[in-house]
Structure 1
Amino acid sequence: MVKIEDFSVESWMDKYENDAKYNIAETCCASISIDQLRELSEDKQSNSFDTSKPLTYGAIRGSNVLRSNLARLYSAKSTAALPAENILTTPGAIQANYLCAYALVGPGDHVICHYPTYQSLYEVPKQLGAEVDFWRAKPENEWIPDIQDLNGLIKPNTKLIIINNPNNPTGAVLRKSLLTQLVELAAEHDITILGDEVYRPIFHSITPIDPEFPPSLLSMGYKKTIVTGSMSKAYAMAGLRVGWVASRDPEIIEKIAQARHYTTISVSQLDEQIAAFALHQNTVHSLLARNIQLAKTNLQLLERFIIKNDDVCEWVKPLAGTTTFVKFHREGSPVDSVDFCRRLMEKTGVLFVPGSECFGDEFKGYVRIGFVNHTDVIKEGLDKVTQFLRKELDNVQLAS
């Protein structure tokens, strides 16, 4: 029997999110409706989906129009165009990541994973029999891991290096120079790199004119790279359940396509039609502008909250994505993040995610905050947290 560890962050969300009054744990940009999506489009007369089409399985590897729109986005800032056939659609990025591990690693293989990160990125390779080591990022280095540490982790059987860029939960980014070093190191050892880039388009605190702005792995010139993405986080449509895998290596795509046959015949036609509409050049720029502006506005509220409560909390300000990792303490001692989050939920209806429960025992006092929900939810929720800190923090247990 496969040993399946509890997926802590998803279990926590499953338990609490439907009862939260202020969900400040959500990692998606504030979700939009199809009607709102159409309003954002420059072509408001176009149908977002065709209801006259028979509901067959559709295109097995993904609709041509959706994959073409994705290929255009990945090719925009690259010297070489990405062929649409080098993209496979999946039911969300979580399955895209699963399929990459399922197709590429197994017993006897070694995997290195950027850490902290979303649990499935390292747990799935473990379930498949691979040995996994963490490439650790630390707050004292602004949550940026060291390339020499990565070099020291590589073994003769290292098959895959996994990164999450921008990072969940910290909001940090691996910058261009570090990505260049990563690619050079992987190429030297002939190791495939998997980049979970689901938060990639949401750059709220670093701009493309910055010389260290991180490009997509697909534009770094190394063939043995894979990236995954989805409509959930940056594009505010988690309910579509549309994700994708992309690589410049056709052999990698074929391996993943074969693995995909065992899990997914196809992705819903209706979901893919709406995703294609959202990613069309008439719509995607307005959609991303809406979400990036929401991130910028809400990050200002969060920064004011941190400054107001700097006697009991600290952070490394995020550069991108929708999340940040905040450490709460009492007289310098970290709080028990699980007790903190439970009491906060009970007293105020504000939902945070406890870092020590959901990202690793070593993250004592840390909570993950998702700050790109609707602005009124963030503002009112953070006000409730400030009141909680003033009245209830002394009752919160300290981390053991």
Structure 2
Amino acid sequence: MAPIPPFAVEQWMDEYETKCKYQMAETCCASISINELVELSDNKQIKPSDLIDLSSAQGYGTTRGSNELRNNLSALYSSKVGTPLSPDNVLITPGAIAANHLVLYSLTGPGDHVICHYPTYQQLYSIPATLGAEVDLWKSNPANNWLPDFESLKSLIKENTKLIILNNPQNPTGAILPRSLLQKIIDLAESKQITILSDEVYRPLFHGITPMDKDFPPSILSMGYKNTIVTGSLSKAYSLAGLRVGWIASRSPEIIEECAKTRDYTTISVSQLDQSVAAFALSQDTIHSLLSRNIQLAKANLELLERWIIKHDEYCSWTKPVAGTTAFIKFERDGKPIDAAALCKDLQEKTGVMILPGDVGFGEEFKGYVRVGYVNKTEIVKESLEEMRKYMRKGYDDLPLSA
């Protein structure tokens, strides 16, 4: 096993997020309290205290995940699909980060070849490489709405390709892999019996595309190929990062069993209290109102961000996100990329606004890029953008260009 590299995004967040005044690097929808969650629910008979049975002994519970929570996730992935997903094909984990790690640890190792959609969360390509797998990056094209080229994917396939890793919607760009491209990926993988892992942690937060659009991407679990895996959590689209509830789902019982064997060494079970609240959030009484709240928040805040970018288009450019919570914005001066780390540090020091440098978090080729999380509370976004506006007028010209 190779030495694990520093996790650049998380190290930057650890260093700066507790010191900022305005959080614009956060990737979760604005967090809500249990009281607010109950208020959103259509079930007006329930009280916050009803979500947790204070008289119940706090043992391990059902170790693979509570029946209620797995049933709700089964329903979520079975919607509009001919073959329902069994609750037995869902494993509950401490967040999506644990879900991803369990899948990668269970399925990849020395002698394997892995292809990873890029840019993306560093975990998805660093962990397989650390485990001894050979990793190739399937790169998105910023000049084509961050779409990766399918012919390029085909050229990366090898005899020992074990896993194709997707991130849909994509962190940090907010782009999607459209249905037509997903179908090509499925057909290619199935023809060669390659497993697909799709990190869908930002699903179903779609705000620039609707299910009526021909390019709207379904969950990969609904596309008919057995050897597909989805990971997700309550953190991003559901505003409940503090619960630390995530999941692995697959239509392959064999894959689930492999992940369960690994899970036995790391998890045993997830808090019964957290799972109880998570099950309520994903129930039919609550999920639609919760998602509607967050989609409307994303739309309103994205409009504010778009106006800001238009006003500063001499210095910055982007592909407007259609999903998720993040935008990837490129800052330049005189046609050359700004030193993004210097920008982020100076901006936070002088205004309290935190954003994240793209070349630090996602790879050196993204010089000048920053990741902005725009689905915080609207007032925070407004105040942040005003501080950034003043900074652009007073401090931007003094920033160094990228080396």
* TM-score normalized by the length of structure 1: 0.99
Read off the aligned partner of 1:365 and give its amino acid letter: G
Matched, 1:79 2:82: yes
Q: Contact conserved, 1:163 with 1:196, CA < 8 A, in 2?
A: yes
Matched, 1:158 2:161: yes
Please list every run of 5 or more consecutive structure 1 residues that lacks an aligned counterpart in the other structure: none
Matched, 1:248 2:251: yes
Q: 2:354 aligns with which of 341, 351, 354?
A: 351
Within 5 Å, give how 1:233-382 maps onto structure 2: 233-382=236-385
What is the distance in 2 between the residues matched to 1:104 and 1:281? 33
Q: Give RMSD over aligned pairs.
A: 0.7
- Point out the more displaced range, 99-108 or 42-51: 42-51
Q: What secondary structure, in the 3-state scheme, does the structure 1 residue paired with 2:115 have? A: strand
1:168-189 deviation per Cα after TM superposition (whole angstroms, max 9, x unaligned): 0000000000000000010111
What is the distance in 1 between the residues matched to 2:44 and 2:37? 9
Change (3 A) 1:154 1:107: same
- Point out the more displaced range, 40-49 or 263-272: 40-49
Read off the aligned partner of 1:6 and give its amino acid letter: P
Q: What displacement does 1:45 show?
A: 2.8
Q: What secondary structure, in the 3-state scheme, does the structure 1 residue paired with 2:52 have? A: coil
Matched with 2:14 is 14
Q: 2:185 aligns with which of 182, 185, 192?
A: 182
Q: Contact conserved, 2:2 with 2:129, CA < 8 A, in 1?
A: no
Q: Contact conserved, 1:352 with 1:367, CA < 8 A, in 2?
A: yes
Q: What displacement does 1:162 show?
A: 0.2
Matched with 1:31 is 31
Q: What secondary structure, in the 3-state scheme, does the structure 2 residue paired with 1:259 have? A: helix
Matched with 1:3 is 3
What is the distance in 2 between the residues matched to 1:49 and 1:145? 45
What is the distance in 2 between the residues matched to 1:83 and 1:175? 26
- Point out the more displaced range, 22-31 or 71-80: 71-80
Q: Contact conserved, 1:38 with 1:48, CA < 8 A, in 2?
A: no
Q: What displacement does 1:331 show?
A: 1.4
Q: Contact conserved, 2:2 with 2:132, CA < 8 A, in 1?
A: no
Please list every run of 5 or more consecutive structure 2 residues that lacks an aligned counterpart in the other structure: none
What is the distance in 1 between the residues matched to 2:80 and 2:63? 28
What is the distance in 2 between the residues matched to 1:4 and 1:395? 36
Q: 2:148 aligns with which of 139, 145, 150?
A: 145
Read off the aligned partner of 2:388 and give its amino acid letter: V
Q: What displacement does 1:20 show?
A: 0.9
Matched, 1:124 2:127: yes
Q: 1:220 aligns with which of 219, 223, 235?
A: 223
What is the distance in 2 between the residues matched to 1:100 and 1:391? 48
Q: What secondary structure, in the 3-state scheme, does the structure 1 residue paired with 2:17 have? A: helix
Q: What displacement does 1:19 show?
A: 1.3
Read off the aligned partner of 1:269 and give its amino acid letter: Q
What is the distance in 2 between the residues matched to 1:219 and 1:207? 17
Q: What displacement does 1:80 show?
A: 1.2
* TM-score normalized by the length of structure 2: 0.98
Q: What displacement does 1:356 show?
A: 0.6
Matched with 2:398 is 395
Q: What displacement does 1:33 show?
A: 0.3
What is the distance in 2 between the residues matched to 1:103 and 1:154? 21
Q: Contact conserved, 1:114 with 1:137, CA < 8 A, in 2?
A: yes
Q: What displacement does 1:44 show?
A: 3.1
Name the % identity. 61
Q: Contact conserved, 2:196 with 2:229, CA < 8 A, in 1?
A: yes
Q: Contact conserved, 1:68 with 1:84, CA < 8 A, in 2?
A: yes
Q: What secondary structure, in the 3-state scheme, does the structure 2 residue paired with 1:166 have? A: coil
What is the distance in 1 between the residues matched to 2:2 and 2:142? 34
Q: Contact conserved, 1:137 with 1:144, CA < 8 A, in 2?
A: yes
What is the distance in 1 between the residues matched to 2:196 and 2:295? 27
What is the distance in 2 between the residues matched to 1:51 and 1:153? 54
Q: What displacement does 1:202 show?
A: 0.4
Q: What displacement does 1:49 show?
A: 1.9
Matched, 1:196 2:199: yes
Read off the aligned partner of 1:112 and give its amino acid letter: I
What is the distance in 2 between the residues matched to 1:387 and 1:78? 50
Q: What secondary structure, in the 3-state scheme, does the structure 1 residue paired with 2:148 have? A: coil
What is the distance in 2 between the residues matched to 1:354 and 1:235? 25
What is the distance in 2 between the residues matched to 1:72 and 1:363? 39
Q: Contact conserved, 1:202 with 1:292, CA < 8 A, in 2?
A: yes
What is the distance in 2 between the residues matched to 1:300 and 1:50? 42
Matched, 1:386 2:368: no
Q: Contact conserved, 2:317 with 2:331, CA < 8 A, in 1?
A: yes
1:340-395 deviation per Cα after TM superposition (whole angstroms, max 9, x unaligned): 10000101000001001110000010000000000001111011111111111111
Q: What displacement does 1:194 show?
A: 0.2
Q: What displacement does 1:2 show?
A: 4.2
Q: What secondary structure, in the 3-state scheme, does the structure 2 residue paired with 1:19 have? A: coil
Matched with 1:230 is 233
